[in-house]
Amino acid sequence: MNKLFKLLLVLAIASLTVSACAGAEKESAVGFYLDTVVTLTAWVDDPQVLQDALRVCGEYEGMLSRTVEGSDVWRINHAGGQPVTVSDDTLEILECAKKVSDLSGGLFDVTIAPVSTLWDFTSGAAVLPDADAIARAAGLVDISKLTIDGNRVTLPEGMMIDLGGIAKGYIADAVKGYLEGEGVKNAILSFGGNIVAIGLKPDGQPWKVGIQDIDKPTGEYMLVARNFGGSTVTSGIYERGFDLDGVRYHHILDPNTGWPVQNELASVTVFSESSMWGDALATSAFAMGVERGAEMIEGLEGIEAVFIARDRSATYTSGAGEYMLD
Amino acid sequence: MPGRRRAPGRSPTEDEGVSKGFRRGLLCLALAVCLALAVCLTLAGCQAKRGDEVVVLLDGKAWDGAEVSPEKDGPRVIVTLDGAELIDLPFSEPRTVTVRQPDGAENAVAITGDAVYMAHANCENQDCVNMGQVTLGNLELRVMGGFIVCLPHRVSVEVRE
């Protein structure tokens, strides 16, 4: 009798455990959008939801890519100075881009495309573009000339936008919203350097995000950040770029000169709720340098940052400690 | 051919009987040739098709598709192409997995027993090779979690606990 009771108890506990876990299983999916790798890891009832989420990424790529013919961005760039009607999504991104451009004193500018298309940071070839061509292209960079009237966007002829520094964040937020709508409670999503989480880990702990050690191989971390269901975005010189004659040529370009920003920084990590803002602010704060960058972040509510200098020193904004492990 | 009307103006002769047998012989020969050709073409087709397929090599030898260590207790390494699983291996057993695509794209994944990394890829940007190692210790910290991805070749490697 005692044995039977024990057996029943074990069975009862086992069935409880199974039913508690049965709902959501850890599933992952990978996709390739806007020249970035998207990885989605979520606790879901049906793995199909992740495939649907990847399809959402594909739809946004078709809207926001500079190179996809017929996308909002493509149409703006090819309108020859005429107004173009765009989606609410594109509009929201452009409005954020304008605000961040103001906040950064023009160091964040999505009209950088005439310059950025002259650089090749992805092939691994260490080739510098023609300096005169860069100077001429830099003269075409000025987001204040992009005008928005309702859903109509006008860009002067010859200018070009590229939402590479902000669209990933917007899509990350959108995919998060989509998954939340599908009832997902725990997920960690990665869009290039953008990490967006839904909730906490299933064990109730915050997610951990490593901040790359600038002097060590990829995958070795200098600091570990915590993510409580928000966005963690890192912009750094080690992401895309090449070394030539002792100089690191990386993808964060100075809109004024068209050349990579050379300052004391190696990376900036921004903690925020919105990954679109985090994306734009990480790039901006990097371009502004520690002092001005930290000042800008301090002026924004709910946003914190950690700056890693090339000499390995770390600078935190006033509330950033909460996001750091130890 | 049955049912077809003979050409007008011609009457059957004895010669025709002979030539009928001859024709039948010819027909049989033609059929045999056709059959042989068909067999050859099918074989050649298979051969060509084999060259069109993605090949997975384990430690340099073609993998026969049989499950490797099917007892999935410990962490696993899953290699996918275009999101579809190619092979699922135990994390703890040292091995090299090579994925060879018909267009010449090649990725070699090294499984050391306590780490997984892209040992080699003939892709243009080498991002996957520079993504470093995935270990059970850094799995949670990496920006891409347990993934190593070769974007140009659409190959991904995932370490799953």
Q: Do B133 and A122 touch (CB under 8 A)?
A: no
User: pLDDT tens, A75-132?
Assistant: 999 999 999 999 999 999 999 999 999 999 999 999 999 999 999 988 778 999 999 9
- Report the pLDDT averaged over residues A296-314: 97
ipTM for the complex shown: 0.71
Chosen from A27, A28, A30 to mutate, greatest number of chain B CBs within 10 A: A30
Domains of chain A: 25-323 (3.10.520.10)
Interface check A221 vs B, CB under 8 A: yes
Dist. CA A78–CA A97, nearest whole Å: 20
Query: What is the dotted CATH code of the domain comprising B55-160?
Result: 2.60.320.10
- Residue A269 in contact with residue A305, Cβ under 8 Å? yes
Percentage of residues in chain A having pLDDT higher than 90 = 81
pTM, rounded to two decimals: 0.81
Q: How confident is the model at residue A4 (pLDDT cuts 50, 70, 90)?
A: low
The Cα–Cα gap between A228 and A225 comes to: 10
The full length of chain B comes to 161
**Chain segment A144-168, per-residue pLDDT in tens:** 999 999 999 999 999 999 999 899 9
The better pLDDT of the pair A34, B158 is held by B158
CA-nearest residue of chain B to A124? B125
DSSP per-residue codes, B71-131: ---S-EEEEEETTEEEEEEETTS-EEEEEE-TTS-EEEEEE-SS-EEEEEE--SS-TTGGG
Cβ atoms A57, A31 nearer than 8 A:
yes
Q: How confident is the prediction for chain A on average, in pLDDT?
A: 92
Instruction: Tell me the chain A residues in contact with residue B132 when contact means C-beta distances shorter than 8 Å.
Output: 217-220
Per residue of chain B (161 residues), what is the pLDDT tens digit? 444 433 443 444 444 445 556 666 666 566 666 566 555 455 444 444 445 789 999 999 999 888 888 777 899 999 999 888 999 999 999 999 999 999 999 999 999 999 999 999 999 888 899 889 999 999 888 888 899 999 889 999 999 98
Range name among A197-211, A249-263, B27-41, B107-121 with the lowest pLDDT average:
B27-41
Among A124, A193, A221, beta carbon nearest to B126: A124
Domain locations in chain B as residue ranges: 12-52, 55-160
